[in-house]
Structure formats: C-alpha cells, structure tokens
Chain A
Amino acid sequence: QSALTQPASVSGSPGQSITISCTGTSSDVGGSNYVSWYQQHPGKAPKLVIYEVKNRPSGVSNHFSGSKSGNTASLTISGLQAEDEADYYCSSYTSNSTIVFGTGTKVSGL
C-alpha cells in the first residue's frame, strides 16, 4: 500500500490559519470515514488530534479541525501558536482492512 501524500512542509505566522492536505485514493481516504490526524513533537510519540475525519478527542484544542473532499482530507490549525510547531501525520483505514499513514508535514512558524 502506498503512503498518503502530504506536503513536506507548511509554515505560517503566529495567529494565522494553515491547512495541511492528505491525498489518497478511493481505496483509502476517498472511500473511508476513518481518517485520523496526529501531531508529533521531536523525540515524542504521536498524539491523536482528529479522528473520523473531523472529530476531536477530549482535551484536544478546538483550533484543530478536520474535513474531507473526495480523495483528499485536510487538517486546519486556526490561530497558529508556537506549540503547534511539530510534524503532522494523517492516516486512513483502507478497503483491505489495513491502515496507511501519510508522508508527514512539518509545520513551522515564520
């Protein structure tokens, strides 16, 4: 299975909104409502920030939001803060009953 495609990096000014895309196929993102997003700081384990395309786990800031259109899912961070600077990964359940991750996006401040 091929990794989902994400931009290598996205940057933004503090307070700005940024969006990270995650492109797959009809066998994963396009055909699944089970798309998740993770935040990973250096040397740490990933943290779940979005599940089932647009839902936030308890305790996750509401400045994270998710959406999907066709074969592309998106994570939007509204009001970028210094602590949001991290790597972000999407994942999707697939038609083969497996899970595939995205290539990862490094978010940095300007």
Chain B
Amino acid sequence: QVQLQQSGPGLVKSSQTLSLTCTVSGGSISTGGYYWSWIRQHPEKGLEWIGHIFYSESTYYNPSLKSRVIISVDTSKNQFFLKLNSVTAADTAVYYCAKDAGYGDYGDAFDIWGQGTMVTVSS
C-alpha cells in the first residue's frame, strides 16, 4: 500500500520560497503511470489544486499559481517536491501531497494523501 510522508518547514518568511517534499513508500514513483499532486487548504477554507506531475516530465499547474510554482520529481529518492516562490500571507495554508487513483487518464481523483503540512508565511 502506497503511503506519502511530507516534510518541510512550517514557517516561511514573506517573499521567500516555500519548499516541501513528499516521500513515497510502498511503491515506486516512476512506475504505474500515476500523477503526483500538490493541493492546499487555507485555514477554515476549501481545497485548492496547485498542480501535478506525470512521468517526471509533464507538469500542469493551477493558472492562478503557475508563475510561482514548480513541481518536480527525484525518482532515485522516490520523492516529489513543491516549490512556491515569492510567498505572501495569502499562501498560509495546509499543504497536502496526493497520488491519483489511476482510474482514468487525467490524474483527477486522489486516493492517497499525505498527512498535511501547515505552512505559515510570516512578515
């Protein structure tokens, strides 16, 4: 059974870069043809899709975040990463990594989630 373990700082200074890591266990990130995603949830608010990566190459991002986001993969470490630059207080949220269920072709259904990381952007 695939599991996702998130790591990274819970506090980031305004204008700096938020960096999170998601480590995959119980399966290989480079096989199976799954999408690997990042999703966030502002305090007491709804879910917001940030983007995902497929086969270590193809990335798709939320248009509202596209200019500031990079999602990448390190297959040798079975990890994928989120980098969000030029953060502001509006980026304060719980960040989740997630794996798509593999039912369809578009990575649209997430069946495995990380534990969530609360990231606070401070001034």
Residue ranges of A at the interface with B (Cβ–Cβ < 8 Å): 1, 3, 34, 36, 38, 45-46, 48, 51-52, 55, 57, 89, 91-93, 96-104
**Is B10's beta carbon under 8 Å from chain A?**
no
CB contact between B108 and one of A57, A99, A104 (< 8 Å): that residue? A99
Q: Which chain B residues lie closer than 8 Å to A101 at the CB level?
A: 39, 46-49
Q: Which chain A residues lie closer than 8 Å to B107 at the CB level?
A: 99
CB neighbors of A among B89-123 (8 A): 96, 101, 103-104, 106-111, 113-116
A19 to B62, CA, bound (A): 29
Give how many A-B residue pairs fall within 8 Å (CB-CB): 70
Residue among A1, A98, A100 having the largest count of chain B Cβ atoms under 10 Å? A98
A19 to B109, CA, bound (A): 21
**Majority DSSP secondary structure for residues of B touching A:** loop
Contact assessment for A93 and B49 in the assembled complex, using a CB-CB cutoff below 8 Å: no
Residue among B45, B107, B109 having the largest count of chain A Cβ atoms under 10 Å? B109
Contact assessment for B109 and A100 in the assembled complex, using a CB-CB cutoff below 8 Å: no
**Is B63's beta carbon under 8 Å from chain A?**
yes
Contact assessment for A36 and B109 in the assembled complex, using a CB-CB cutoff below 8 Å: yes
Contact assessment for B46 and A91 in the assembled complex, using a CB-CB cutoff below 8 Å: no
Contact assessment for B106 and A93 in the assembled complex, using a CB-CB cutoff below 8 Å: yes
Contact assessment for A91 and B96 in the assembled complex, using a CB-CB cutoff below 8 Å: no
Contact assessment for A3 and B46 in the assembled complex, using a CB-CB cutoff below 8 Å: yes
CB contact between B104 and one of A1, A34, A46, A103 (< 8 Å): that residue? A34
A97 to B63, CA, bound (A): 10
